């Protein structure tokens, strides 16, 4: 039954992708009018709230996933962390395939409250944040979560979707497409987990590395061979609203960088295998949250510095994955031993 559900989700994603590819002008026009309407209700307070939501949702569910891994459940945390990075990596590939503009690029009347420089379809936030959101929703249901917890999760998904429209970062169909792929990715990971795919150690490591290598190679091939159509009016609109500039090459570069997030997934699985068995550090919840937050923040900083050097970018992200899954728990374990020794 679950396999049939995955097949159905794959068909839905395929149909939605076909619609996005063939009817993008009509979809973008209708969505543009809707975005102009909701932005007409703009106020400084509302603007700041949604800008903050856009910044926070890009990492908050990743941090929550990391804390889940370090404190509560290695298996559940692994599913959530790798789903976030896998969603981001696949979104980079899909963006390089569709090469569609963002609302603030295409329409002069749409305000750009955020200034992304990569292609817009599907929504990267919907996939990178949406996949762990959906994963947590599924895991919460399995563990008998209360209705209020499930409703809160659905509200987070809805607010994130509306935020991407309100700040002019995505057309509505780009968000729908992103969440559709997020649901597919989360469902596939849950299915594989239930089949025991995450308990086979070296076989899992090898399969993960082969899969991530395929994603990375595909990202690079698209970067090399894709010749997207470009409208100079998009760059003019961007310069009128944002600092810096955009062009086709910069957009492809950004999405290639997203595809290279597959290195984090491979490194995380390798680190988890190298880690062995360690108990959760429930007495260090706040510390676990802080350490994972620092790791993610530092990785985003270094990404900016090494983005143009693909070898350094890939190596750093692979090591980051190992550090998150192997070294952080060992660090917490050492702190725990010191506490008991001197406590």
Q: Is the dihedral of CA 112, 118, 124, 129 positive or negative?
A: negative
Backbone dihedral region of 201: left (phi > 0), alpha (psi from -120 to 50 degrees) or beta?
Answer: left
pLDDT digit string, tens, across residues 127-156: 988 899 888 888 877 877 667 767 877 888
Q: pLDDT-based confidence at 289, cuts 50/70/90?
A: low
Backbone dihedral region of 223: left (phi > 0), alpha (psi from -120 to 50 degrees) or beta?
Answer: alpha
State yes or no: pLDDT of 48 exceeds 60.
Answer: yes
- Nearest CA-CA partner of 275 in 322, 234, 340, 243: 322
Q: What is the pLDDT of residue 185?
A: 96
Beta carbons of 253 and 119 less than 8 angstroms apart: no
The predicted model gives 174-202 an average pLDDT of 89
The domain locations on the chain are: 2-225+249-338
State yes or no: pLDDT of 271 exceeds 80.
Answer: yes
Question: How far apart are the C-alpha atoms of 56 and 170, rounded to whole Å?
Answer: 17
Mean confidence (pLDDT) of the chain: 84
Beta carbons of 307 and 257 less than 8 angstroms apart: yes
State yes or no: pLDDT of 19 exceeds 80.
Answer: yes
Q: Is the pTM for the entire model greater than 0.85?
A: yes
Q: What is the pLDDT of residue 187?
A: 94
Q: What is the pLDDT of residue 123?
A: 92
């Amino acid at each position: 039954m679950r396999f049939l559900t995955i097949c159905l989700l794959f068909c839905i994603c395929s149909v939605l992708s076909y619609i996005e590819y063939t009817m993008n002008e009509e979809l973008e026009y209708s969505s543009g009018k809707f975005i102009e309407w909701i932005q007409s209700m703009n106020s400084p307070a509302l603007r700041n709230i949604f800008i903050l939501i856009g910044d926070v949702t890009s990492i908050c569910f990743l941090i929550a996933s990391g804390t889940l891994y370090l404190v509560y459940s290695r298996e559940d945390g692994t599913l959530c962390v790798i789903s976030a990075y896998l969603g981001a990596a696949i979104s980079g590939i899909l963006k390089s395939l569709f090469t569609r503009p963002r609302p603030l690029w295409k329409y002069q009347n749409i305000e750009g409250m955020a200034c992304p420089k990569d292609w817009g379809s599907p929504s990267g936030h919907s996939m990178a944040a949406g996949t762990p959101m959906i994963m947590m929703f599924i895991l919460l249901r399995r563990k008998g979560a209360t209705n209020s917890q499930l409703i809160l999760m659905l509200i987070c998904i809805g607010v994130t979707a509306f935020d991407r429209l309100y700040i002019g970062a995505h057309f509505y169909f780009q968000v729908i497409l992103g969440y559709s792929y997020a649901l597919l990715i989360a469902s596939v990971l849950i299915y594989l987990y239930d089949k025991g795919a995450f308990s086979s150690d070296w076989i899992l490591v090898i399969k993960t590395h082969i899969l991530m290598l395929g994603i990375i190679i595909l990202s690079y091939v698209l970067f090399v061979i894709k010749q997207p159509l470009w409208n100079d009016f998009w760059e003019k609109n961007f310069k009128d609203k944002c600092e810096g500039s955009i062009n086709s090459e910069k957009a492809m570069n950004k999405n290639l960088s997203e595809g290279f997030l597959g290195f984090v997934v491979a490194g995380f699985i390798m680190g988890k295998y190298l880690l062995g068995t360690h108990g959760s550090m429930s007495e260090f919840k706040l510390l676990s949250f802080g350490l994972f937050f620092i790791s993610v923040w530092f990785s985003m900083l270094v990404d900016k510095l090494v983005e143009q050097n693909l070898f350094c970018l890939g190596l750093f992200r692979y090591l980051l994955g190992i550090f998150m899954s192997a070294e952080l728990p060992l660090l917490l374990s050492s702190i725990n031993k010191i506490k008991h020794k001197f406590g």
